[in-house]
C-alpha cells in the first residue's frame, strides 16, 4: 500500500497547484488548491468571489512539494475572465478556470474517472495545500460512503480536510484517476465565516460614525468597542485557518462533467486527457 502512495505522489503531484489571492500589500486573503485536467484547472468554488484581492497567483511545484515549476500572476480582471461559472446550484463545491492563455502546456494533466471506477471502500489519496504553507501534501484514506444534496452526489472519505484543501483532487489510488473535488463542507464553513466577518465590518462602520460623541473621563468608549471588534475579527481568522472538517467531502467528478455539459462547455467533454507520465 505504501508503494501505491509513493507512486501516486510521483505521478500526480506535478499536476496539482496552489491558487493564492493577494491584496495590495501582497498578503493572502484566500488560498485554495487546484489541479490541471485538459485545458482547465479545477478548483474550489471559493474562487468565484474572493474578497478584496488584486492578484491571483497560480503555482505548480516539483516532486519535492515545494520548488515551483510553473506559475502565473493574473489581475483581478484577467482571473475573472478565465473563470467558467454559470451554475444554478447554491454551492457546487467546484469551479473551472480556463488556462488556454497561460504557459502551462508542460504541466501534466490528471485524468478524470469513469463512473464505473467509483466504489465504496476504494483506497484514495488527497493532494493539496493547507493553511499558509507553500508545501504540497498527500493524505490517505478510503471512500467511505456517498452523500446526496440538492440532487447531486458527493463522495465522503475518512480523512480530515483543512483550510486551503478546497479544490484538492480526490484520487483513486489504483487507477490514479480523479474521483472528485474536495471542498463542499469547507465551502459551507467558509460561507458562515464570511457572514460573520461581514457582521464585524458592519459593526465597525457603525461605531466609527459615533466616534467622538461620548467621553468618559477622557476615554472614548466607542474606540474601545471598535478595538474589541477588530480583536474578534483577528481571533476569528486564526480559528478559521486552524479548524478542519472531521471527514472529507468531494463532489463526484461525474456531477462535474454533467454540469460542464449543461452549461455548454462541450469542448471539455470532447477533450481527451491522458494519464500523467
pLDDT at 25 over 80: yes
pLDDT at 272 over 70: no
pLDDT-derived band of residue 225, with 50, 70 and 90 as boundaries?
confident
Helix axes of 221-242 and 184-209: crossing angle, nearest 10 degrees: 170
pLDDT at 113 over 80: yes
Among 176, 193, 170, 159, smallest CA distance to 33 is for 170
For residue 58, what is the enclosing H or E element? strand 55-61
What was the pLDDT predicted at 42?
A: 95
Q: Which class for 104: exposed (0-12), middle (13-18), buried (19 or more C-beta within 10 A)?
A: buried
Distance CA 275, CA 42 (A): 16
What is the percentage of the chain residues whose pLDDT exceeds 70? 81
Q: What is the residue-averaged pLDDT of the chain?
A: 82
Among 93, 97, 9, smallest CA distance to 276 is for 9
pLDDT at 112 over 70: yes
What was the pLDDT predicted at 63?
A: 94
Give the mean model confidence (pLDDT) for residues 236-241.
60
When comparing pLDDT for 37 and 132, which is higher?
Answer: 37
pLDDT-derived band of residue 237, with 50, 70 and 90 as boundaries?
low
pLDDT at 231 over 90: no
When comparing pLDDT for 64 and 268, which is higher?
Answer: 64
> Is the distance from CB of 10 to CB of 245 less than 8 angstroms?
no
**Per-residue pLDDT reduced to its tens digit, 137-177:** 999 989 999 988 778 888 988 877 777 888 999 999 888 99
What was the pLDDT predicted at 85?
A: 65
When comparing pLDDT for 137 and 249, which is higher?
Answer: 137
pLDDT-derived band of residue 117, with 50, 70 and 90 as boundaries?
low
pLDDT at 90 over 60: no
What is the percentage of the chain residues whose pLDDT exceeds 90? 36
28 CB contacts (<8 Å, ≥6 apart)?
20, 21, 22, 132
Amino acid at each position: 500500500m505504501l508503494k501505491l502512495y509513493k507512486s501516486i505522489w510521483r505521478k500526480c503531484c506535478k499536476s496539482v497547484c496552489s491558487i493564492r489571492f493577494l491584496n495590495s500589500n501582497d498578503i493572502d486573503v484566500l488560498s485554495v488548491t487546484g489541479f490541471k485536467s485538459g485545458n482547465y484547472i479545477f478548483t474550489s468554488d471559493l474562487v468565484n468571489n474572493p474578497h478584496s484581492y488584486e492578484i491571483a497567483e497560480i503555482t505548480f511545484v516539483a516532486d519535492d512539494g515545494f520548488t515551483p515549476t510553473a506559475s502565473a500572476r493574473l489581475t483581478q480582471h484577467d482571473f475573472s475572465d478565465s473563470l467558467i461559472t454559470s451554475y444554478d446550484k447554491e454551492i457546487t463545491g467546484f469551479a473551472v478556470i480556463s488556462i488556454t492563455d497561460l504557459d502551462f502546456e508542460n504541466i501534466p494533466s490528471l485524468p478524470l474517472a469513469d463512473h464505473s471506477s467509483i466504489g465504496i471502500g476504494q483506497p484514495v489519496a488527497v493532494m493539496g495545500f493547507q493553511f499558509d504553507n507553500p508545501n504540497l501534501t498527500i493524505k490517505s484514506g478510503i471512500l467511505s460512503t456517498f452523500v446526496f444534496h440538492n440532487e447531486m452526489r458527493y463522495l465522503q472519505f475518512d480523512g480530515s480536510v483543512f483550510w486551503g484543501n478546497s479544490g484538492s483532487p480526490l484520487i483513486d489510488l489504483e487507477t490514479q484517476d480523479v474521483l472528485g473535488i474536495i471542498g463542499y463542507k469547507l465551502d459551507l464553513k467558509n460561507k458562515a465565516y464570511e457572514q460573520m466577518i461581514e457582521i464585524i465590518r458592519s459593526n465597525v462602520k457603525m461605531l466609527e460614525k459615533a466616534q467622538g460623541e461620548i467621553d468618559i473621563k477622557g476615554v472614548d468608549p466607542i474606540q474601545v468597542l471598535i478595538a474589541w471588534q477588530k480583536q474578534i475579527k483577528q481571533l476569528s481568522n486564526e480559528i478559521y485557518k486552524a479548524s478542519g472538517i472531521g471527514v472529507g467531502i468531494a463532489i463526484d467528478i461525474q456531477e462535474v462533467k454533467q454540469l460542464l455539459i449543461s452549461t455548454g462547455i462541450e469542448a471539455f467533454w470532447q477533450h481527451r486527457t491522458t494519464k500523467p507520465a
